[in-house]
A and B are shown apart, each in its own frame.
Chain A
Amino acid sequence: MYLDDMKFTDTHEWVKVDGENEVTVGITQHAQELLGDLVYLELPAVAKQIQAHDIVGVVESVKAASDLYSPVSGEVIAINEAVIAEPALVNNDPHNSGWLFKVKLHDLAQLASLMSVTEYQNAIGQ
């Protein structure tokens, strides 16, 4: 489930490097379990410049609305239209087809400050 090529935040987002300076961002398995059935997603606009720790969207489940934080700084280059149409995809496959948005990074070095798989698993008590 939590693969070595993923990095994490303490707000339960994951980051995967796609090559060059681009990453994909989503929310973790743990996050979707906590949230329950997702019903709406608000994602950042394509071409938007975002900073790490910014609130860039909303992840809304039946239970509650949760802010979506950006784990990285850069430019949004794509968002996952499939999850906007079908939020349940994030519950079913949060680490792959349930990805949320892609970012072109200003620098890759910022990834070093994110948590590793082991650190995240410790943080969530697994």
Chain B
Amino acid sequence: MQRTPFYEAHLAAGAKMVEFCGWQMPINYGSQIKEHEAVRSNAGMFDVSHMAVTDISGLEARPFIRYLLSNDVAKLDKHGFGKALYSAMLNSDAGIIDDLIVYSMPFGYRLVTNAGTYAKDMEWIESQAAKFQVSLTKRRDLAILAVQGSQAIAKVAQIKPELAGPLSSLKPFMALEDNDWFYATTGYTGEDGLEIMLPNKDAITFWQELLRAGVTPCGLGARDTLRLEAGMNLYGHDMDETINPLECNMDWVIDLSDEVRDFIGKAAYLKLKASGSQFRQVGLVMQGKGILREGQSLIKDGSEVGVITSGTFSPSLKLSIAIAKLQSGVTENVTVDIRGNLEAVKVTSLPFIRNSNQAF
């Protein structure tokens, strides 16, 4: 099993370690609910070094990326370097191979992809790249730390005062490079903050400085409750190669505005769009006790009308919430089958929380 550069720091902070996609990762440091609350009220930090950073350079980097991804990096041109874009990577059936963030860089593009899909992603990207004049560099020399919360940027600026000005002037989905370090205003929590890539050798020192500055270590448990509250998909649960992008709220990252651009999955996606979708993605909130969980069926008037793709307890709302696939047109009187009992749920829009407030 693999260990990230922060491994010793996790142990020192009392982490409960688990195996996750072949990596030893912290699930919590005692209470995932307290960690969640720290991010919503102050600042928390997440080791996400298990994710993969791949740099793409070479003569045909731009046409390659425009072909590989559903979203169009041409939109980033006007911003120059240091702009981020969320995208799907589709297969030729318009199934979703992975979701990722792509950054425009001086050398070309940087992709950050999921840990659970690493082998599949790399095989796919490498085989597609063979048709283009590009070089791929896997950046396992970089650790990745997400620092999230209203105080996140302020805390990082305390430690890097020379960057305080530039960091505070970053808008969402931008990035700045400082020697080998890379700071991006992206995240998976619905809060302000940064995702920082830094040389492995600097990881532990940076962690300790943030800890001293009052940033709370947060594990995978809190990461999941935060992203669900923020209405963000988790690959392998809310979306995968078998779920139509229209059914998992991914149609907005498939950019058709440049009709001349061909990208993998375009033709199949246009067919799906034309025939319409039987299902759409919704949020669910349970008023009573009990927790909504992935795989539970949604029932209306005795028929199955959908399924929960991910569910949890929301520490911010103190209720259970879920992301679900629900038949188009069904908006109310939906129940969920929880261990044989039908419980009422409210169908809502996503996200549940925005800027630490209820948003539905």
State which residues 9-31 of B face A: CB under 8 Å. 16, 27-28, 31
Q: How far is the CB of A48 from chain B (nearest CB, A)?
A: 19
B32 contacts A36, C-beta separation under 8 Å: yes
In angstroms, how far is the closest chain A Cβ from the Cβ of B182?
32
Which of chain A's residues have a CB closer than 8 A to the CB of B293? 65
Chain A residues whose C-beta falls within 8 Å of the C-beta of B31 in the assembled complex: 37, 88, 91
* Interface pair B339/A37, CB less than 8 Å apart: no
B289 CB–A CB distance under 8 Å: yes
Min distance, Cβ A84 to any Cβ of chain B, angstroms: 9
**Pick from B32, B289, B290: contact of A37, CB under 8 Å:** B32
The contact string, 1 if C-beta is below 8 Å from chain A, for chain B 121-138, is 000000000000000000
Contacts of A62 in B (CB 8 A): 32-33, 221, 225, 291, 312-313
> How many residues does chain A have at the interface if contact means C-beta atoms less than 8 Å apart?
12
Shortest beta-carbon distance from A122 to chain B in Å: 22
Across-interface contacts of A60 in B (CB, < 8 A): 290-291
Contact with A along B291-325 (1 / 0, CB 8 A): 10100000000000000000011000000000000
* Interface secondary structure of B, over-half rule: mixed
Pair B290/A40 contact, Cβ less than 8 Å: yes
Output the nearest chain A residue to B290 by Cβ-Cβ distance: A40
In the complex, A78 has a CB within 8 A of chain B: no
> By the criterion of a CB under 8 Å from any partner CB, how many residues of chain B are at the interface?
15
List, in ascending order, chain A residues with CB within 8 A of B313's CB: 39, 62
Q: Which residues on B sit within 8 Å (CB–CB) of A65?
A: 291, 293, 339
* Complex Cα–Cα for A36 and B293 (A): 16
A63 contacts B by Cβ under 8 Å: yes
B32 near A39 (CB under 8 angstroms)?
no
Contact with A along B320-348 (1 / 0, CB 8 A): 00000000000000000001000000000
Task: Tell whether, in the assembled complex, residue B221 and residue A36 are in contact, meaning their CB atoms are under 8 Å apart.
Answer: yes
Counting chain B CB atoms within 10 Å of each CB, the highest count among A42, A63, A91 belongs to A63
Check B289–A40 contact: CB distance below 8 A: yes
Alpha-carbon distance A33/B293, docked complex (angstroms): 21
Which one of A33, A36, A40, A88 contacts B291 once the chains associate, using CB atoms below 8 Å? A40
B330 to chain A, nearest CB (A): 26
- Alpha-carbon separation in the docked complex, A88 to B312 (Å): 16
Using Cβ atoms and an 8 Å threshold, which residues of chain A touch B32?
36-37, 62
Q: Within 8 Å CB of B289, what residues of A?
A: 40, 42
> How many Å lie between the Cα of A29 and that of B357 in the bound state?
34
A91 to B32: give the CA distance in the assembly, Å: 12
Q: Quick check: B33 and A37 within 8 Å, CB to CB?
A: yes
What sequence of 0s and 1s flags, for each residue 25-60 of chain B, a beta carbon within 8 Å of any chain A beta carbon? 001100111000000000000000000000000000
A37: chain B residues at CB < 8 Å are: 28, 31-33, 221
> Hey, which chain A residues are within 8 Å of B221, CB to CB?
36-37, 62-63
Task: A77 to B313: give the CA distance in the assembly, Å.
Answer: 31
Q: Give the complex CA separation of A63 and B27 in angstroms.
A: 11
Docked Cα-Cα span, A37 to B33, in Å, equals 7
Known interface pairs A36-B28, A62-B221, A62-B312; A88-B33 also in contact (CB < 8 Å)? yes
A contacts, CB < 8 Å to B: 33, 36-37, 39-40, 42, 60, 62-63, 65, 88, 91
- What are 22 A-B interface contacts by the 8 Å CB criterion? A36-B28, A36-B32, A36-B221, A37-B31, A37-B32, A37-B33, A37-B221, A39-B291, A39-B313, A40-B290, A42-B289, A60-B290, A60-B291, A62-B32, A62-B33, A62-B291, A62-B312, A65-B291, A65-B293, A65-B339, A88-B31, A91-B31
Q: Which 4 pairs show the lowest CB-CB distances between chains A and B?
A: A37-B33, A39-B313, A62-B313, A40-B289
